[in-house]
């Protein structure tokens, strides 16, 4: 019985593997419509809880940059600027983008803000929310099976514990937050470059945010991200590809003027 249950779960998990935009294998099996609905509900709640900015300059800037980036992805996206001094931004399944006024004032130019928006849209394109939800569901199901396996010394018990127990803590869930953030960095850099924004400004932005958080509580946006040195190294390694996309965009006449 235990072997049958585990076999069904393994088959389910293997059939749910997809490939992210960067070529990474992902476990994604939650219905997209359900994930989108969760994003829509969360965004509606935020609009009720947080004051929405009426600053026409901020709204024009945010919509101009987000519009240029999301034209590269397709779909209709809603962009809302929230009156919040903390430098933060986010994107949710269901094509929703939220930007704090604190992020707008922190960025020196349109390209730096484009780096943030591209990064957040990258999370949505890579289905990171679905991946997290799928992982949590798989772990919860796995723990139930592990609890049902009364003989952990057997090969089946050891397999279950390794794949769904200890493996879930140290090999599946724990490292993924930084993997997601690094992946969103790469996707976001390519997106901003395709839209005609200078990807070199992404490095300037992360350096600026790192300086802004020194001596204070870490900025929420940076809390789960790779260290600054790691991020800069990864972005620099990816820069030749992004610059190629940027030059192609410039040649195609994609030169946003959102400032």
Supply the residues annotated as catalytic. 120
Element (H, E) at 254: none
Is the CB of residue 28 less than 8 Å from the CB of residue 130?
A: yes
Neighbours of 180 (CB within 10 A): 22
Is the CB of residue 116 less than 8 Å from the CB of residue 107?
A: yes
List the one residue out of 238, 244, 212 whose CA is nearest residue 21: 238
List the one residue out of 96, 112, 138 whose CA is nearest residue 198: 112
User: Residue 191 is encoded by which pair of tokens?
Assistant: 């997106």
Is the CB of residue 165 less than 8 Å from the CB of residue 139?
A: no
DSSP, residue by residue, 4-63: HHHHHHHHHHHHTEEE-TTS-EEE--S-HHHHHHHHHHHHHHHHHHSPBP--HHHHHHHH
């Amino acid at each position: 019985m235990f072997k049958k249950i585990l076999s069904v779960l393994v088959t389910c998990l293997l059939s749910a593997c997809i490939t992210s935009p960067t070529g990474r294998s992902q476990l994604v099996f939650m219905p997209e419509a359900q994930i989108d609905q969760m994003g829509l509900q969360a965004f509606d709640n935020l609009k009720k809880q947080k004051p929405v900015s009426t600053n026409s300059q901020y709204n024009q800037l945010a919509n101009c940059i987000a519009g240029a980036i999301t034209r590269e992805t397709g779909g209709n996206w809603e962009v809302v600027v929230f009156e919040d001094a903390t430098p933060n931004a986010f994107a949710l399944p269901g094509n929703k983008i939220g930007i704090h006024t604190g992020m707008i004032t922190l960025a020196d130019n349109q390209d730096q803000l484009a780096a943030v928006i591209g990064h957040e849209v990258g999370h949505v394109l890579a289905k990171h929310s679905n991946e997290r939800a799928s992982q949590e569901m798989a772990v919860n199901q796995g723990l139930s099976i592990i609890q049902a396996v009364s003989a952990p010394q057997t090969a089946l018990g050891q397999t279950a514990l390794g794949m769904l127990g200890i493996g879930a803590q140290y090999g599946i869930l724990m490292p993924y937050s930084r993997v997601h953030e690094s992946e969103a960095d790469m996707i976001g850099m390519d997106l901003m470059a395709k839209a005609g924004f200078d990807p070199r400004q992404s490095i300037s932005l992360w350096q600026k945010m790192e300086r802004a958080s020194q001596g204070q509580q870490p900025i929420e946006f940076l809390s789960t991200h790779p260290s600054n040195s790691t991020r800069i190294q990864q972005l620099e390694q990816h820069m030749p590809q992004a610059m190629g996309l940027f030059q192609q965009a410039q040649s195609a006449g994609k030169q946003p003027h959102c400032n």
